[in-house]
Structure 1
């Protein structure tokens, strides 16, 4: 009867929290054990630990890589709370001299570090979440951004006189510097479910909180999508890890030993299980690779227990001054390891060594991890990510009760401070100036004027062209939108105009996803047949400068009635009624031959109904003032379009049908960069004059247009059936990084190839039928327009991008149809694009 009492009296229970002595932040994955025993545990995501022993113990030992080991005396046989503050282990050596006649050449052969990493690679699958039939967990994410490395002088500037409450301070040696200015924060709480067969990964966001700016200036959803794309999950067991829109080879990828050097730098025996510290560095320091260290468990799992990943300063990443991600893994009841915490920090700046920049951090905490607990089928159905209907409505009390981590001092008031900031008049003026510079619009409250880059232009038909326009904002109404402009050409002495009205059915801004609206518009303006500018308006000032003959224009009167409906799954459809009258202008003319005599046609009138289906899974974009700016990803985008011309409806002169299909996709090729592929095909039924056939997109400007043919002349090729493939490959400096001088310049190689197959059936070829509109010819009698019946049109280019971090310059070569008059064989084209 006395034995159980004696055993109970000897039981010792120790619990507490482990924190960083400098930052006071809790520390996860810290090893705590009773000294001299094998009884130990690791701290959880909140830094908490609990130890229980049924035998005499007198001390606990707390250890963590990079920190000084802490030993604390305890009273045996009692329940005690002992909180531990751990200090960083900064070991300073007075002097170390290493001499060697010859440094040994690094090799994978007979290298114990490489043998160990191969065992880690061989055990990858068993250590992934995909090893379980079912898994579920709760996840907390916190993302925050600051203006960083600010000086006291900067803080005290007159412009910030009313903003002192915004600034935050931290230790001067922390990433981002001492003085920070918080600008953004987002938090998410989600339930996550995994099923192996059929494969399903699903996230249900139960709560979401985000700093929000005035939507007249900032697309808050686009900003969130952009930041989440920059700071994606770091899955070390994947072969490639996304970072800032690039993909870096994981140090435990299948082919990692061919690109990394590995070294065993420590054996840690005072933790359970024992760990081996494996350091790694790229074979070529300029390659898009990580460097750092990983800690491997020596319990037969060969699992990653902890990882610290950074990048070399020579890596070809723009604006990145510092980067560090820390991953912590926790042992599950099954004996396997799963990710429990990740912390990704990056500091950006125009100057890599000093000066103000932007510091961002994303922390992910995973808890309540359970395996092999199947859920009902409906849990796994639906899109990969769903948002609870009231996710954004959770108040402060909810977040205080459910947030598993304590906010840092500089984060605690950011939501309230940003709201207060937007009430300050000087801040509103600053945002107006930024919007005018970036988007080209001057916000006047209920109405905004712009875009300013279209106020002036020159072209051979209109001469000097002046334009003034604008549109209403959400300040006037979220449901109703008006947009208009008026323009005047001093050479043709004609007014042009545009007017549209939009009604938002879902009572959201038409610039918010998902869209659901009806729009009606009328337009009278000029257009170059076949011109399709990418992210540039056709009457942009820069489009005044073109090569070769560019006097081929049409005057267009267009009425459109559109209905657009988007879904959260990124499936959308569009229905359009279009009445279009086009008349030749400039050097262009319409004529056919009747009874052997030329017959001038003044205009063409068509009326068509169009239906378009589009599916862009996981698509992300930033909604600009004029365009949606895509955030590239690996997922394909599918578009299918059908057009039906109706003769007799609104004076339409032709019956016809047209089908067009398009697929675009980005392929990531690890160390070789990435490739963008665009494939399209179309077919037009019935007999039509050439202006109603497909006029292939040409580019005679000096800007590089990815969706147009840069060596093709306007109206040079038409088709009633065609197929095209455009390939644009970016090497991300794979070759230049191995050349010492070029490595310093951070230049990147890029190549492209475009091919277009097509033709005009005999029934649509004016050479076979004089009653059709004849292909135009130049003033000297040389043909302007051709078919593709003699083979594909092809062009290729090779270029250098990342010049001054923003410029791409390509040398373009036309490969076919070189015998056409005024056909350019070589050209140099440039494009401005900011990349990481």
Structure 2
């Protein structure tokens, strides 16, 4: 979800500006005209400063007038530059080496000592006292939170202004300004304000945030975009060892592992708000790692952070983000406790990290106020759900915002609201917005009916040949309480028409009680996954094997009707009950058979008829969603744990149903961020079928006969290579995030990422189930019961930023018919 939403950011436009009293930019060099990265730049007699980037470049501004600039770096003489104008761009500053450091190569390179370094002594004091600051010091806490999100189109030049894309929208370029962080020109394009009340209990380990007001400039249906950015800029604690942004773990400059990845320099000391503080500059020891550069001010008695700046280096192995800048400010309570009062986060989304490349700024400003402590609330308070969508909250009057804002909007931010009201009436803008929406969602909107998804229109498989699928859904807003979806498909080889239709209704929004029903008559690849349900909209690989390894003729014609109830009694915990009836038969009887012997009459049957009732429990702690209607969009895909338990019962006799059985299935998926060592993804599946059932109702170990990487499948298994009634499966995959490749000179600049994986499955198949099979197929396939089947793989990701390739190796069962010992799969995607 988060990756395709990123594309929409590059289709939106707008306007707004800030001004400053003093602006400076330029480069810092040594006497040999070599750039000096991570040099310290500060306005004299102030705490306003910055650090040069890897190329020695800097930009800085202040709301105050300043007459001089101080430039310093380890091994060089400090230099004072007089400023004769309020705005001084493209400065070239040359630093002279200190006499004592001319022969000290290690100092010249900027490496700081890990011994006898006063900055490290201060850092150790911060570690000792980090749990004694902030809200963690109290049993309970509460505060008011004001959050402002803004998007800006940056690097505005004449080429962009005169582009055909903006024909009819030239008025938006009447005023532009420069960013106080980067010095780039920009146009604000979107603004959202939110006010909430936050509650926390450190004893119960509970947290709850209640929205009290929300307002945005732009289109009314912006919940997905807002939620996407909020997830990217999720809350973080600078005292933690690792800070998570964009699915990646960055080493905090306050981390206990920081000494091995950062250089630290004690630069200055001064009073800030009557508190004596030390200033420490930090910058990375190596390139291509997920680190920051910047500085922080720390109090000399509590060892709490007063101010901190963090900026991601351009060499960091992260895609689509050219710059990332963070500021945090803390205030003092009762003369000793430091509490965060302001958090500013700015990122520059761009296709390229080149200096003049165009992109979109994403900015978040968060203000905290009205702290209260040790006011205990019952645990039920934290567990109870708040009505997720209150129209009054999303339509607050202007008088509410005038009183509620902790920081007044400046005149340019106010213009954003006025501009977008005008922009929404411009046909050229509507056209541009619609193109972005189609690319992001895959649907074409026809006033309440969406045609699509376009990406599923064409497919191919052995039975149907080329397949055409046309469908759509009702869609008025993201918060629709009901939705009807349907499609029709036709195979040019089997010359048969297939279809599917479903409908669902949100009965109660607070408990999320949903009623749904549907029917699907189509061709399906049974065993697409081990853990599955009789969902009418379930996954099928039948039409996705456009490029396949070997022949796959073992497809099943399924006619499935289902009715279900689902409720969410607690956030991210759902309970579902469903009833279904399905018929199963081979899609081509000459190529594949599901024949079985009736256990009572011993007669041969060619079609399975089965009625089933199922109850399932799903718990997804940490899942974040957007939308308040019958459908919700998950905005942090792959970033939360999932536990799923399904118990289903086959009922014999109803609607001529053939079998009576019980089946239990369990799935546990968990991503693990392992600090600076990357990310491990694990998936455990367990299941057992009690009772005698034929091939069509057994658990097929999911193979993959395509060249596409598909989650929780075995890339070297053919479909139906293993069939079980009892199974245990484990998948492990680790993404090192470029940690190894970044240390290899020839590979470092490519920002590639290394991946390794291992997967295995054990299973059994009873003699009674084998005896029911009249095709003889189960006599040959069997189950991996003597020893678990396993595979391992190695892969390279981030090829051209969008492609990944994996090389797979079979670990055993080499003598299976048509066994594949080696295979290659790949996938495309937008990943940070």
Same fold (TM over 0.5): yes
Structure 1 contact 728–750 (Cα < 8 Å) conserved: yes
Following the alignment from structure 1 to structure 2, what is the Cα–Cα distance between the partners of residues 295 and 476?
Answer: 45
1:159, distance to aligned residue in structure 2 (A): 3.8
- Report what 1:608 is aligned to: 612
Equivalent in the alignment of 2:32:
none
CA distance, structure 2, for counterparts of residue 212 and residue 382 of structure 1: 33
Aligned residues: 746
Q: What's 1:365 paired with?
A: 367
Tell me the CA shift for residue 428 of structure 1.
3.5
Quote how far apart the aligned CAs of 1:328 are: 0.9
Answer with 632-641 or 316-325: which moved more.
632-641
3-state SS of paired residue (2:293): strand
Question: Within 5 A, what are the aligned runs for 1:273-292?
Answer: 273-292=275-294
Show structure 2 runs of 5+ residues with no match: 1-16, 23-43, 51-61, 71-79, 82-92
**Which aligned pairs between 1:809-828 and structure 2 lie closer than 5 A?**
809-828=805-824
- Equivalent residue runs for 1:104-503 within 5 Å: 104=106, 106-164=112-170, 166=172, 169-172=175-178, 174-175=180-181, 179-211=185-217, 213=219, 215=221, 220-268=222-270, 272-298=274-300, 300-353=301-354, 354-371=356-373, 373-377=374-378, 381-382=382-383, 389=390, 390-474=392-476, 478-503=480-505
Relative distance call for 1:485 and 1:196 in structure 2 (3 A) is closer
**Cross-structure match for 1:96:** 95
Query: Normalized against structure 1, the TM-score is what?
Result: 0.82
| Whole-Å separation in 2 of the counterparts to 1:310 and 1:376 | 38
Deviation (angstroms), 1:65: 3.3
How does 1:583-598 map onto structure 2 within 5 Å? 583-586=585-588, 587-592=591-596
1:686 paired with 2:691, answer: yes
In structure 1, C-alpha distance between the alignment counterparts of 2:197 and 2:323, rounded to whole Å: 32
* Alignment deviations for residues 516-540 of structure 1 (CA, whole Å, 9 cap, x no partner): 4322222221112212599997478
| Conserved? CA contact 2:506–2:630, under 8 Å | no
Instruction: Give distance in 2, aligned partners of 1:312 and 1:808.
Output: 24
Of 729, 737, 740, 1:724 maps to: 729
Cα-to-partner distance string for 1:210-237 (whole Å, 9 max, x where unaligned):
356465xxxx433222111111224111
Which residue does the alignment assign to 1:55?
none
Q: Is the CA contact 1:248–1:671 (under 8 Å) kept in the aligned structure 2?
A: yes
Map of 2:800 onto structure 1: 804
Query: Which residue is 2:31 aligned to?
Result: none
CA distance in 1: counterparts of 2:774 and 2:367, whole angstroms: 68
2:527 matched to 1:530?
Answer: yes
Cα gap change, 1:625/1:495 in structure 2, threshold over 3 Å: closer, same or farther?
farther
Distance change (3 Å), C-alpha of 1:360 and 1:87 = farther
User: In 2, are the aligned partners of 1:775 and 1:785 still within 8 Å (CA)?
Assistant: no
User: Does 1:695 pair with 2:696?
Assistant: no
Q: 3-state SS of the aligned residue for 2:498?
A: strand
Instruction: State the alpha-carbon separation in 1 of the partners of residues 189 and 316 from structure 2.
Output: 27
CA distance in 1, matches of 2:265, 2:571: 46
Shift in Å, 1:121: 0.9
Deviations 1:582-621 (A, max 9, x none): 11133211335799x9975321110101121112123124
Partner of 2:86: none
Most deviating of 693-702 and 460-469: 460-469
1:325, 1:342 within 8 Å by CA — same for their partners in 2?
yes
Cross-structure match for 1:642 = 647
SS of equivalent to 1:552? coil
1:562 Cα shift? Answer: 2.3
Structure 2 residue 567 is matched with structure 1 residue 562: no
1:44-84 CA-to-partner distances (Å, cap 9, x unmatched) read xxxxxxxxxxxxxxxxx9843339xxxxxxxxxxxxxxx99
Kept in 1, the 8 Å contact 2:596–2:606? The answer is: no
Partners of 1:445 and 1:671 in 2: CA distance: 48
Deviations 1:611-638 (A, max 9, x none): 2111212312478999955514764222
User: How many angstroms does 1:173 deviate by?
Assistant: 5.5
SS of the equivalent of 1:681 reads strand
- Distance in 1, Cα, partners of 2:446 & 2:172: 27
The worse-fitting range, judged by mean Cα deviation, of 121-130 and 438-447 is 438-447
Task: Say if 1:209 and 1:549 are closer, same or farther in 2 by CA, change over 3 A.
Answer: same
Structure 2 CA distance for aligned equivalents of residues 658 and 404 of structure 1: 56
- Give the TM-score of the pair, scaled to structure 2: 0.83
- 3-state SS of 2:790 partner: strand
User: Partners in 1 of 2:816 and 2:131 — Cα distance?
Assistant: 58
CA distance in 2, matches of 1:306, 1:547: 58
How far apart are 1:167 and its partner, in Å?
5.0
SS of 1:223's equivalent?
helix
Structure 1 residue runs without a partner (length 5+): 1-19, 26-60, 68-82, 778-782
**2:522 is aligned with 1:517:** no
d(CA) in 2 for partners of 1:730, 1:133: 38
Shift of 1:163: 3.1
Counterpart secondary structure, 2:681? strand
- Structure 2: how far apart are the matches of 1:455 and 1:388? 34
C-alpha distance in structure 1 between counterparts of 2:228 and 2:711, whole Å: 22
CA distance in 2, matches of 1:335, 1:627: 44
Q: 1:481 to 1:128 in 2, by over 3 A?
A: closer
Q: CA deviation at 1:657?
A: 0.9
- Look up the SS of the partner of 1:414 in the other structure: helix
Rounded to whole Å, the distance in 2 between the matches of 1:464 and 1:399 is: 57
Structure 2 counterpart SS, 1:548: coil
Which residue does the alignment assign to 1:4?
Answer: none
Shift of 1:726: 1.2
Q: State the SS of the aligned residue for 2:136.
A: helix
The CA distance in 1 between the partners of 2:773 and 2:479, in whole Å, is 49
Secondary structure in 2 matching 1:750: strand
User: Residues 643, 729 of structure 1: CA spacing in aligned structure 2 closer, same or farther, 3 A cutoff?
Assistant: same
The offset of 1:730, in angstroms, is 1.1
1:761–1:650 Cα change, 3 Å: same
User: In the aligned structure 1, how far is the partner of 2:646 from the partner of 2:368?
Assistant: 44
Q: Distance in 1 between matches of 2:623 and 2:254?
A: 29
Distance 1:584 1:747 in 2: 44
CA radius of gyration, larger in:
1
Asked if the contact 2:385/2:570 (under 8 Å) is kept, the reply is no
State the Cα deviation string for residues 551-582 of structure 1 (Å, max 9, x = none).
11111111111223345612222222111101
